[in-house]
Structure 1
Amino acid sequence: MKTIVTFGTFDVFHIGHLNILERARSLGDRLVVGLSSDEFSWRKKGRYPVFSEGERIRLLEALRCVDVVFLEHSLEEKRRYLLEQEADVLVMGDDWQGKFDEFQDICDVVYLPRTPSISTTAVIEKIRL
């Protein structure tokens, strides 16, 4: 069984999120998603997600392409998460290109293109208008 692991905040879920999750899942038999906790999101982005970690977990768990969701609390623990989940492949969006190559000693690292012209920030800005 080939396990794919990806990480993200997945706030204000949109088609770009679904696209990357489905493409990640197509690379293996099992998709594990590390979801940024509310506190980790605050430290990374200087704002809390619109939807709580509990709500975001429920949304991700409801998707056919997602098998397991766990909370990610820091970037520094990424190696431990990959080992615990027995990752064969780490998948990230290409906006992270090269930033996780250090994990190639324990799994393949694949950067997938993001869906053009969509981001959570853009969606939030559109809603505000």
Structure 2
Amino acid sequence: MKVILTYGTFDLFHVGHVRLLERLSKLGDKLIVGLSSDEFNKGKGKSSFFSYEERAEILSSCKFVDLVIPEHTWEQKAADIKKYNVDVFAMGDDWEGRFDSLKSLCDVVYLPRTKSISTSEIKTLIAELKKNDLDKVQKSLNDAIEIIKKLNYSE
């Protein structure tokens, strides 16, 4: 049995995640996903919209994923490779070269990301939408204040 291992946060699960997991699953017989814990993300200066438990449930329901394990540190990868008898460690190509040190333990592969979609871009768009909504609310409040002032002056 050929075992594949990858890691990630997998927040705001989207088609890019699905396509990556599908490609990873085709590299072998079993796909294990190391999912960044909330505490680990916090240490990286990241925060997730969904909790670890929610993200783990979402990933576990994906037909390409056989096992989800928690990722608590950068350093655990070598131990996980040994523990789960991993044949291929694979990541998106945005991590190219960062895990080459693991080549002594297994094959290391970097796969291209799905173009035109990323969790960071989705979060940016959501933040912009929120800002636009807040700007509209602020404008409405300012308009209301002006109307009230005019009404008060006309009395």
TM-score over 0.5 (shorter chain): yes
Q: Which amino acid aligns with 1:108?
A: D
- Partner of residue 20, structure 1: 20
* 1:76-95 superposed matches below 5 A: 76-95=75-94
TM-score (norm 2): 0.80
Q: Which amino acid aligns with 2:93?
A: D
* 1:1-129 superposed matches below 5 A: 1-44=1-44, 46-128=45-127, 129=129
TM-score (norm 1): 0.96
Q: Which has the larger radius of gyration?
A: 2
Percent identity between the two aligned chains: 52
Q: Which has the higher contact order (CA 8 A, sep 6+)?
A: 1
User: In the aligned structure 2, how far is the partner of 1:9 from the partner of 1:85?
Assistant: 20
How many residues matched? 128
Q: CA-to-partner distance for each residue in 1:66-113, whole Å, 9 max, x for gaps? A: 000000001011111111111100010001001111111111000000
- Structure 1's unaligned 5+ residue stretches are none
Q: CA-to-partner distance for each residue in 1:34-73, whole Å, 9 max, x for gaps? A: 00000101111x2321100000000000011000000000
- Structure 2's unaligned 5+ residue stretches are 130-155
User: In the aligned structure 2, how far is the partner of 1:35 from the partner of 1:47?
Assistant: 14
For residue 125 of structure 1, report the CA deviation from its aligned partner: 1.6
Superposition RMSD in Å:
0.8
- Partner of residue 139, structure 2: none
Which of structure 1's runs of 4+ aligned residues deviate more than 6 A? none
Is the contact between residue 39 and residue 48 of structure 1 (CA under 8 Å) also seen in structure 2?
A: no
User: In the aligned structure 1, how far is the partner of 2:67 from the partner of 2:75?
Assistant: 21
